[in-house]
Each structure stands twice: as structure tokens, then as C-alpha cells.
């Protein structure tokens, strides 16, 4: 097992320790969350006594295969705990997310939960958001070049994300992603509000003031716990 896998495994193990029978949880997307699903199976067997809302089609597929019952976000379900990863995490538990393309659904699931715990590795820690990753901005396909021009009035760059063979990346909700340079800012909340208020923008990858705790796995198998 590589150092990265050891760190991810440690964080996922700590996350599952926060799950109790009968809970309804929210599961984001990405390798850390998929490892959490494996750990849930290891702890509870092939019929886990809990339900979950899923933030991506891939997460839903893996969770159902593990016997986790779906909890639709129908306005009635109560999510006790959301678990999700991050591309970057700053000292205030601000997050940059969306590298896997599921940021819109992830934010909806997290906003529906009583608590949100980040499951990641210590290498994701940064002094400021935007150090190592660009900020994903999800936009509607109609007139997207015009939306990109509006985003460029706020951010220094905005490149449409592509898949292999130069095909555009399309999210589970049918939108496009612009990967943007995130400049240093003393007020990311205000910057995020400007981006979100841009016509044609659906959502962005700044997750600020949402996490209550972060479980950061280390290569030695230990876990750093941060809270606000």
C-alpha cells in the first residue's frame, strides 16, 4: 500500500467510526468517499443498517453494490452526517472541491446535512485555497462562451474542462466545468458570491463555512483531526 493509500485508509477508518446504526448519511464523491464505502462494508457487512444520499452516479453505484439503501433528497429526509473529500483544505476548514466534477451535487448533499466531516489526506492541506488546484465553476451549456467571458471579469483564467479525445467534460447534471485560477483574496466569501451571482453559473467549488471537522490521514497511518 502506498503512502497515499495508507493515509486515505486511515481517514476513511476514522470517518466510519463516526457513523452509528440507523443514521442517514450523505456520501460525496472521489477516492476517499469510495474508501469510506468499503470501510462501511467491512464494519457492518453486506446489509449496512443505514441509508445514504449520493452525490454522484459513481458513488451511488458503489454504495448500492455494498448494500447501502438510498435516501432521496425529497425535502423530508434528514441527513445526520455528510462525508466527503476535498482537493484543498485551508487552516479555517475552507475547502476547494470539484476536481472529480461532482461539486454541485456534493454541495447540495452537504447543505442538507446536520454535520459535514471532511475525509482527506494531510497532503491536501494548504495555507490558502488555490495553491495547487484551480477552482471549478459549473456553468450551463447554453451560451457557455458568453458565461466564460463574464467569469473572466472576476477571475484571471477560465478554461473549459475536457475529457480524453478533446471532448468536453459534462457533469452528471449535464453542465460544463470551467477550471479557473483562484487569486489571493482576503474575502473568499465575497468572491464566491460574485461568481455564483454571474448569469450562466450554476455553482463553484469554494466550500466555505460548511465543514465542522476534518479527518486528515497521514502516511504513517495516523489521523490529524481538525475542528472549528
DSSP 66-132: TTPEE---SSS--EEEEEE--SEE-TT--EE--TTS-HHHHHHHHHTEEEEEEEEEGGGB-SSTTSS
Phi/psi of residue 77, each to 5°?
-70, 145
- What residues form DSSP beta bridges with 159? 179
Tell me which of 17, 38, 42, 106 is the catalytic residue.
106
Q: Is 106 a catalytic residue?
A: yes
Number of neighbours of residue 69 by Cβ within 10 angstroms = 13
Q: Residue 109: name the closest of 137, 70, 161 by CA.
A: 70
Q: What is the CA radius of gyration of the chain?
A: 17
CB-CB contact of 109 with 71 (8 Å): no
Place of cell 473529500: 85
List the grid coordinates of 44.
Answer: 457492518
How many whole angstroms separate alpha carbon 41 and alpha carbon 226? 26
Tell me which residues are annotated as active site.
Answer: 106
Amino acid at each position: 500500500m502506498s503512502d497515499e493509500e495508507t493515509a486515505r485508509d486511515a481517514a476513511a477508518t476514522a470517518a466510519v467510526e463516526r457513523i452509528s446504526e440507523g443514521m442517514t448519511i450523505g456520501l460525496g464523491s472521489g477516492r476517499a468517499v469510495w474508501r469510506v464505502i468499503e470501510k462501511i462494508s467491512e464494519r457492518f457487512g453486506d446489509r449496512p443498517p443505514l441509508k445514504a444520499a449520493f452525490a454522484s452516479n459513481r458513488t451511488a453505484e458503489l454504495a448500492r453494490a455494498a448494500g447501502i439503501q438510498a435516501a432521496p433528497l425529497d425535502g423530508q429526509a434528514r441527513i445526520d452526517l455528510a462525508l466527503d473529500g476535498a482537493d484543498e483544505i485551508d487552516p479555517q476548514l475552507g475547502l476547494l472541491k470539484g476536481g472529480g466534477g461532482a461539486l454541485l451535487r456534493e454541495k447540495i448533499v452537504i447543505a442538507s446535512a446536520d454535520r459535514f466531516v471532511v475525509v482527506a489526506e494531510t497532503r491536501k492541506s494548504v495555507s490558502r485555497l488555490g495553491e495547487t488546484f484551480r477552482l471549478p465553476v459549473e456553468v450551463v451549456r447554453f451560451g457557455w462562451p458568453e458565461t466564460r467571458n463574464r467569469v473572466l471579469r472576476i477571475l484571471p483564467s477560465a478554461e473549459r474542462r475536457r475529457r480524453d479525445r478533446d471532448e468536453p467534460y459534462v457533469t452528471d447534471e449535464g453542465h460544463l466545468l470551467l477550471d479557473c485560477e483562484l487569486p489571493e483574496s482576503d474575502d473568499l466569501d465575497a468572491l464566491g458570491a460574485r461568481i455564483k451571482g454571474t448569469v450562466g453559473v450554476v455553482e463553484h467549488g469554494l466550500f466555505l463555512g460548511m465543514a465542522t471537522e476534518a479527518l486528515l490521514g497521514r502516511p504513517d497511518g495516523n489521523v490529524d483531526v481538525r475542528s472549528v
